[in-house]
Amino acid sequence: MQGLIKAVIFATVALSVLSGCEEKKAQQMMAGEAVRVGVVEVGARKVTIMTELPGRTSPYLVAEVRPQVGGIIQKRLFKEGGDVKSGEILYQIDPAIYQATYNSAVATLTKAEANLASSKARAERYAELVKINAVSRQDSDDTDAAYKQAIADVEAAKAAVESASINLNYTRVTSPISGRIGKSEVTPGALVTASQPAALTKVQQLNPIYVDVTQSSVEWLRFKHQVETGLLKTDAKNQIKVKLQLEDGRVYPKEGKLEFSDVTVDETTGMITLRAIFPNPNNDLLPGMYVRALIEEGVNEAAITIPQKALFRNQKGEPQVIVVKPDNTIEQRVIGISREYEKDWLVSSGLSLGEKILVEGSQNLRGTNIKVNPVLVDLGQSNGTDNHSAPATESAAKL
């Protein structure tokens, strides 16, 4: 019972104190006295500008394997889902008919070469005999023509041998690139035809791997303008770094770089495609995965940031802050903000270095031209309170 009485007495005293504080603040405002408020000083800091865009992975190289000669599949010589090397045999097509054609072509070449030797010797003899009128000029011309025909026959036979050899080699269907092979669309015993529309299988090179993302043309033009005017600084090679966030929320450990941007804007969406390239030594990234790309656009050496709690919006939806002027009166000012940055906002216009903005005590202010007693509040470095004469540690801003 005594504890209950003490608790009631304590609550009564606390309410009296709070009531007295509120009454005191009200009396201060009515008497024109300065109201104590918390402020931060607007400063500049070094900020890495990051843009987060959705995208999907796509293979670096893709090769659909098709037969170049027709026949029956005798063997499948790879493991589905495994890694293959360029030139590795994937399928064996029955080579019997192509081997026979090759043998026939070789025999024809041997016959043509034998005929060439005989024709050459005859032409040489007739060339000597015609000089002493031992044979007629017509006979000499005929043997010379037969010799040249024999040369042509040999060349044609060599071409036939080469063609037959190529077709025989095509019975061994090989991988055109190194990479990860997919499932087989045919089994041993299947009949395939030359250059058929249906692929036997697909090989994809996954290391490195591409990430394709889309960005609005407006944002891309803004970024180019900021780089050209020096507001954003890229590295010495003008390479734009990219990081990845995977579907499960993890950050991909390897860093990539922007490879190119498409030269055409999609007429229906107003978007352009950006392509980044990433190392993928462990094949953690697979084609078609949904990812979020964090594109490092550049570094703003003197970015102005303000705490999110300092910003509010007027009836028009415009962003505003309360500025404490040098005479300690307050002013509501519309500012421009470009993007969210950690727990702050990046300011694009409306504020100057060294100005003080209100972050605490706005609920105690009523009316205009109110005198305040500004007290600097330390909200931590990430809230934009760094001194502009000494840039803070580099941080990252995301769109």
Which one is predicted more confidently, 115 or 371? 115
* Residue 208, amino acid: P
Instruction: Summarize pLDDT for 56-108 with one digit per residue, the tens.
Output: 999 999 999 999 999 999 999 999 999 999 999 999 999 999 999 999 999 99
Please tell us whether the domain made up of 32-48+302-398 is placed in CATH 2.40.420.20.
Answer: yes
Confidence of residue 382 (pLDDT cuts 50, 70, 90): very low
Q: Regarding the domain delimited by 50-60+204-299, which CATH topology (the fold level of the hierarchy) does it fall under?
A: Elongation Factor Tu (Ef-tu); domain 3 (2.40.30)
User: At residue 17, does pLDDT exceed 50?
Assistant: no
Distance CA 160, CA 27 (A): 110
Mean pLDDT, residues 281-287: 90
Domain layout of the chain by residue ranges: 32-48+302-398, 50-60+204-299, 69-94+171-198, 95-169
The class (CATH top level) of 69-94+171-198 is mainly beta
Q: What is the pTM of this model?
A: 0.64
The class (CATH top level) of 95-169 is mainly alpha
User: At residue 356, does pLDDT exceed 50?
Assistant: yes
